[in-house]
Structure 1
Amino acid sequence: MDYIQIDRTNCMEIILLEFPAFETQWALHLESWNPQIDRPIALDIAEFADFAIDTICLGLDADIEHLAAITQLMLLKGDAVINYAFRTMFLEQIAHRSSRSGFSVEAFITKLQPLGYYHWLEIDSRCSIYPAGVGSGE
């Protein structure tokens, strides 16, 4: 996982290389979109967030650790658009879905690397949607 700069031209390609299991869901996502209309990268990252939520729910440590590593990569190497989309469309979507559905995100939170964890704490401080001690640094 050594990438120079990640932007909207290569972000999803990298995700598909790193998560081949996402390909079927990705294909369905593409089929549902009108090719005459530009598709915002934020919608693509939101689709990947749905995949990530399913992965977190399955609870396989290696897969969750890989998600955390990709999150860190996108935050570190992503341009401003990718960085913002991963903070808002990826991390926040996971957080909000966990809050509404009640699935545990603790395994994911504990595997987040420094930048991902920092942004998770930022979401927690703004939203206060997590149980005490989860993602709040307590």
Structure 2
Amino acid sequence: MDYIQIDRTNCMEIILQAFPAFQTQWDLHLESWSPLIDRPIALDIAEFADFAIDIICLGTALEIDRLITITELMLLKGDSTIEYIFRKMFLEQIAHRSVKVGFSVTRFTRKLQPLASYHWQAMDRAWSIHPSGVSID
């Protein structure tokens, strides 16, 4: 699929097309919000990050590959909001959880495509700690 620009109006639709198994979790997320309150797209992406962490921990190689593809797509074709959320929230949520809970992100990071890999490495340098918990001194 060729996308001109991904923004808050089509981001979740694209994610749900790539990950139909996310639909149940997504529906529960939507039900938790009052229709009278605007729901920030960052919280939607945070919900997807929780799903992504499950894929990293327990998913198949095919699911990991789809996750890597969708991450790169959001970084490449996302508008400034989507790109920022995936760079600063999605990737960081995965990294923080891997350090806090202690799961390996290697299944995910070793296959990252160029832009996602660049942002992951920049995060490593900024934190002075690999998300695996190993200092990079």
Q: 1:18 to 1:59 in 2, by over 3 A?
A: closer
Give the share of equivalent positions with the same residue, in percent.
69
What TM-score do the two structures reach when normalised by structure 2? Answer: 0.93
Which range moved further: 121-130 or 37-46?
A: 121-130
Structure-2 residue corresponding to 1:47: 47
**Partners of 1:133 and 1:102 in 2: CA distance:** 11
What TM-score do the two structures reach when normalised by structure 1? Answer: 0.92
Q: 1:69 to 1:36 in 2, by over 3 A?
A: same
**Partners of 2:42 and 2:70 in 1: CA distance:** 16
Paired residue type of 1:18: A
1:106 aligns with 2:136: no
Deviation at 1:27, TM superposition (A): 0.3
Contact 1:57 1:103 in 2 (8 A): yes
Deviation at 1:133, TM superposition (A): 7.5
Deviation at 1:89, TM superposition (A): 1.7
Structure-1 residue corresponding to 2:77: 77
Structure-2 residue corresponding to 1:28: 28
Contact 1:68 1:112 in 2 (8 A): yes
**Partners of 2:117 and 2:15 in 1: CA distance:** 20
Deviation at 1:127, TM superposition (A): 1.5
SS in 2 for 1:129: coil
1:118 aligns with 2:118: yes
Structure-1 residue corresponding to 2:56: 56
* Gap regions ≥5 residues in structure 1: none
Paired residue type of 1:35: P
> 1:102-124 CA distances to partner (integer Å, 9 max, x unpaired)?
00000100111000000001111
**Partners of 1:72 and 1:127 in 2: CA distance:** 22
Paired residue type of 2:7: D
Deviation at 1:128, TM superposition (A): 2.9
**Partners of 2:87 and 2:13 in 1: CA distance:** 19
Size of the aligned set, in residue pairs, is 135
